[in-house]
């Protein structure tokens, strides 16, 4: 078996004192774990790579990191001396081995003659995206696994526009990676020598200051009563603490209480089951703080501070978590409202969202006469469109978001940005408070105006080699045998993004989906509801998305529950 050959090669080649080899020896009795660690190479794509930390070709360790770094270095060298001189910006988060992995990337890339800008301590993903553009680097790398559990880490690669790599560039890097005979024999440079020769430069405060100055450009209303707003914020043990606090201060918000137990970086995320701001459990401490100080707004960012969770008081005065779709709708409404009020709303403005994001955003944008464009899941596709419109001048970017709590307002960053999101939702909350309203009441106003949109996501976790195969079988079963109705409501359109075809069920007419091919299925129902199924790109999960619109919250809740039950029952029955 190939996995056994791979394992034995690692045992043979790694020195006895190597910590990776020592861990490998400890894991040898667990054959299932060994197979999963060595049966394939850790996948690399437009999102870089992400996996469990440990020994093996299918794990995150110094050797698989060096392999990706060497592929990147060879790609840059291929572009010529100018690209090598512009170099690579590198950042890392608070996870296990993140600083070590970042340095390994720097030493691998630097030893090939490529200039390196390495943050001297941890920084959020959006600040890395900004740094690539600010420093005019040719590429960027951030070591992070976003909101995954603590046993994970990852490596994301960014292009010269500050966005995650497009497919063609990722394919070239993967080609170079596949030509590497062994990740165990890759030579790396010496940190001190790289610094002395000027190849490696440590960066920090100057980039931070430039980012905060850029952040000020998205402020819409400097007359908000910012000082009267009480905010509780938790970085959830990640990178967000300083930049979010600096951003709020720049916008005039001084009444900010930090959740002390979650302020310091902690790779184990000790106070939460998962450092995911989508989860109510992650807000438990923030809610306790909120009650003590009577906070108007509770905020939490994930470990690399690209996603933002929000909780506000409902009509009964109890804190309730807003969904990613609801946060996006509120920010979009406030943004367009203020731009129109100030005469700054461009006629060619465009809103972008992913295919699994609520249709409420489209309804809000349409009310302002603006177009909404859908992209595949992943912020790289939104960033790709921003760059396209810069080139064609077809549209002016205003706002991009996805249901998974990721938002972008100012295009000086080309990835989702929780710092931007935090200051904008704080500004909106202060503005509405000055009018005697809560954002919860504003959300209900939007429902009354546009309809009661509700959405949900269900994930089926299937780990390892067997799990990956099972996820494929689930997609194949829906693809080969699509539902005709769901609880007597007909399916009207079937969209298969793997074939780029949308089929009108009643007529059989096929139309082309003008998006990159992807293993995604979407079903649209006669009552305006929709279902979408896709494998997660970052976790061992099959994800099911549901969206409905009702005439009241009660009717939409009933629709959503019915939809969820019908589809998940089919999945559970196998």
Catalytic residue list:
146
Instruction: Assess contact for 376 and 402: CB atoms under 8 A.
Output: no
- Cβ atoms of residues 396 and 348 within 8 Å: yes
Tell me how far apart the alpha carbons of residues 229 and 410 are, in angstroms, rounded to a whole number. 23
Dihedrals phi, psi of 88, to nearest 5 degrees: -125, 135
Residue 550 CA to its chain's centroid (Å) = 29
Half-sphere exposure of 316 (CA within 13 A, CB side): 3
Q: Label residues 121-153 b or e (16+ Cβ within 10 Å = b).
A: ebbbbbbbbbbbbbbebbbbbbbbbbbbebebb
Look-up of token digits 């790694």? 14
Report d(CA 88, CA 117) in Å as an integer.
6
Among 254, 253, 162, 250, which residue's Cα sits nearest to residue 213? 250
Residue 194 corresponds to which tokens in the numbers above?
Answer: 């790289």
- Cite the DSSP H helix spans in 309-454: 324-341, 360-367, 379-392, 418-434, 439-450
Question: CA nearest 383: which of 363, 402, 366, 404?
Answer: 402
Pairing of strands 501-504, 489-496: antiparallel
| Tokens 């951003």, located at residue | 247
Q: Which residues pair with 532 in a beta bridge?
A: 522, 545
Alpha helices per DSSP H over 40-112: 62-79, 81-86, 98-110
């Amino acid at each position: 078996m190939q996995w056994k050959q791979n394992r034995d090669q690692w045992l043979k080649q790694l020195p006895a004192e190597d910590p990776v080899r020592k861990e490998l020896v400890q894991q040898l009795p667990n054959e299932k774990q060994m197979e999963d660690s060595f049966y394939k190479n850790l996948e690399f794509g437009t999102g870089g790579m992400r996996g469990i930390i440990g020994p093996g070709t299918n794990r995150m360790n110094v050797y698989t990191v060096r392999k990706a770094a060497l592929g990147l270095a060879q790609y840059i060298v291929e572009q010529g001396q100018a690209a090598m001189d512009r170099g690579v910006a590198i950042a890392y988060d608070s996870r296990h081995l993140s600083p070590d992995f970042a340095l390994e990337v720097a030493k691998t890339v630097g030893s090939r003659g490529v200039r390196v800008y390495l943050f001297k301590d941890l920084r959020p993903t959006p600040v890395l995206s900004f740094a690539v553009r600010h420093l005019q680097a040719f590429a960027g790398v951030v070591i992070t696994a976003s909101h995954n559990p603590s046993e994970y880490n990852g490596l994301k690669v960014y292009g010269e526009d500050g966005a995650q790599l497009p497919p063609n560039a990722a394919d070239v890097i993967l080609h170079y990676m596949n030509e590497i005979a062994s990740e165990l024999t890759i030579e790396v440079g010496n940190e001190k020598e790289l610094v002395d020769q000027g190849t490696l430069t440590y960066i920090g405060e100057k980039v931070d200051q430039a980012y905060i100055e850029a952040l000020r450009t998205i402020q819409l209303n400097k007359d908000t009563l910012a000082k009267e707003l009480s905010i509780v914020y938790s970085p959830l043990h990640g990178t967000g603490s300083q930049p979010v606090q600096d951003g709020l201060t720049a916008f005039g918000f001084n009444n900010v209480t930090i959740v002390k137990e979650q302020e310091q970086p902690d790779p184990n995320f000790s106070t939460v089951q998962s450092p995911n701001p989508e989860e109510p459990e992650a807000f438990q401490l923030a809610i306790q703080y909120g009650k003590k100080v009577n906070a108007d707004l509770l905020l939490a960012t994930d470990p690399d501070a690209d996603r933002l969770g929000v909780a506000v008081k409902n009509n009964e005065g109890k804190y309730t978590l807003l969904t990613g779709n609801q946060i996006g709708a509120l920010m979009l409404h406030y943004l367009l409202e203020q731009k129109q009020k100030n005469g700054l709303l461009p006629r060619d403005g465009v809103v972008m969202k992913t295919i699994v994001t609520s249709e409420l955003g489209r309804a809000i944008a349409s009310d302002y006469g603006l177009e909404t464009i859908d992209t595949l899941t992943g912020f790289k596709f939104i960033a790709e469109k921003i760059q396209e419109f810069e080139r064609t001048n077809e549209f002016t970017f205003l706002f991009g978001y996805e249901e998974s709590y990721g938002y972008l307002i100012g295009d000086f960053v080309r990835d989702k940005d929780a710092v931007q999101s935090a200051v904008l939702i704080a500004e909106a909350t202060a503005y509405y408070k000055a009018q005697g309203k809560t954002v919860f009441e504003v959300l209900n106003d939007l429902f009354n105006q546009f309809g009661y949109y509700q959405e949900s996501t269900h994930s089926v976790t299937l780990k390892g080699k067997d799990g990956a195969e099972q996820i494929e079988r689930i997609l194949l079963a829906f693809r080969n045998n699509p539902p005709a109705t769901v609880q007597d409501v007909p399916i009207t359109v079937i969209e298969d993004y793997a074939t780029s075809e949308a089929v009108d069920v009643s007529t059989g007419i096929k139309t082309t989906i003008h998006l990159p091919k992807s293993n995604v299925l979407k079903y649209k129902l006669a009552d305006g509801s929709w279902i979408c199924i896709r494998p997660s790109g970052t976790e061992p999960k099959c994800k099911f998305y549901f969206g409905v619109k009702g005439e009241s919250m009660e009717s939409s809740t009933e629709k959503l529950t019915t939809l969820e039950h019908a589809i998940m029952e089919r999945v559970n029955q196998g």
